[in-house]
Amino acid sequence: MSSIVKIKVSNVSLRATERDITEFFSFSGDIEYVEMQSDNEVSQIAYVTFKDSQGAETAILLSGATIADMSVNISLAPDYKLPPSAYTPSPVSVTPYC
């Protein structure tokens, strides 16, 4: 069994948002991070990092499905590196002054 937890989703509609990608793949497994990158004038690329390899392997089976208005290609992305922003903790909420 592979231990790859990252997938590359290509041919993603420019109309698709990070939320669309997250919702689409949420049934495959727990998602840790989604990064959207521009590809060309008509599509973009999304990289999805799952918490475990089963999520990535399940997501591969969805290749050819439609997200927004375009059929996407999904492949494992073993060489994808998370951007530094993925490692920064979420801002902590500040309690107002009493």
List the chain residues with pLDDT less than 70.
Answer: 1-2, 88-98
Of the candidates 31, 86, 73, the one whose C-alpha atom is nearest the C-alpha of residue 54 is: 31
Q: What is the pLDDT of residue 85?
A: 82
The model carries a pTM of 0.86
Q: What is the pLDDT of residue 84?
A: 86
DSSP structure class, residue 78: T
- Tell me the pLDDT tens digit for each residue of 16-42: 999 999 999 999 999 999 999 999 999
Q: Which domains does the chain have, with CATH numbers?
A: 6-79 (3.30.70.330)
Q: What is the pLDDT of residue 67?
A: 96
What residues contact 49, with CB distance under 8 A and at least 6 apart? 5, 6, 31, 32, 33, 34, 80, 82, 86
